[in-house]
Each structure stands twice: as C-alpha cells, then as structure tokens.
Amino acid sequence: MRKFSVNVNGTKYEVEVEELDANAVAQAPKAAEPVKSAPAGAGTEVRSPMPGNILQVNVNPGDTVKEGQQLMILEAMKMENEILAPCAGRISSIGVAKGSSVESGALLCTIA
C-alpha cells in the first residue's frame, strides 16, 4: 500500500493505493461485455452495451448478416449508437422491437 496526498479543488485528501503485480491485474474482474458467446449450438448473443431506446431494427429472424453489419440503432443519452454484428451468421432471434426501452446487458438478438 502506498500513500499519496491529492489536492482536489483546494481540498487536500490523503489516499492509499494498492500496487498490483501483472498477474493480479490479469485476474481482476472485468466489466460485463455487451457481446458474448452463448452455450454451444445456441449462437452468439448480442447484448445492449448501455440503457436506452431502440430507434431502428434493421434485421429480421432468418436474415444472413456479415461481421460489422449494422443490426440496429440504440439511442442513449441523446446519441445514436450503432449495434453491429460481432460475427457473420444468421439471425436466429430478435429480443427487441423498434421503440423498446432496454437496460444495459439486455438481449438484443442472437446470431447462429
């Protein structure tokens, strides 16, 4: 543990910082990823990276998509965010519709 003195807007704070070795950093918990692989045979789940509203759904179940293809548009904090296909495949299911409100991590669609 190392101690530091930090000045924030004229207020002095004393903080302690723990040093980690490279191995400890590699094992640290990571933030949830918006795209993850589902169990074998189920396909790749595309999840919402943040809460927001679905403005457009550009694919339908059964559509074939290419990696990087725009699947839908998510509006969050007054910004339009493209949701892109993480892999090539066929859309096996869509879990949202235009106008849907979604939370972070919500299942948007599955690519088989």
Q: How far apart are CA 101 and CA 95, in angstroms?
A: 11
| CATH classification for the domain delimited by 32-111, as one of 2.60.40.420, 1.10.540.10, 2.40.50.100, 3.50.50.60 | 2.40.50.100
pTM of the model: 0.62
Answer with the residue of higher pLDDT: 50 or 33: 50
pLDDT of 68 reads 94
**Digit-coded pLDDT (tens) for 4-14:** 787 777 888 77
CA distances from 16 to 50, 73, 112 (A): 31, 42, 48
* pLDDT tens, position by position, 47-99: 999 999 999 999 999 999 999 999 999 999 889 999 999 999 999 999 999 99
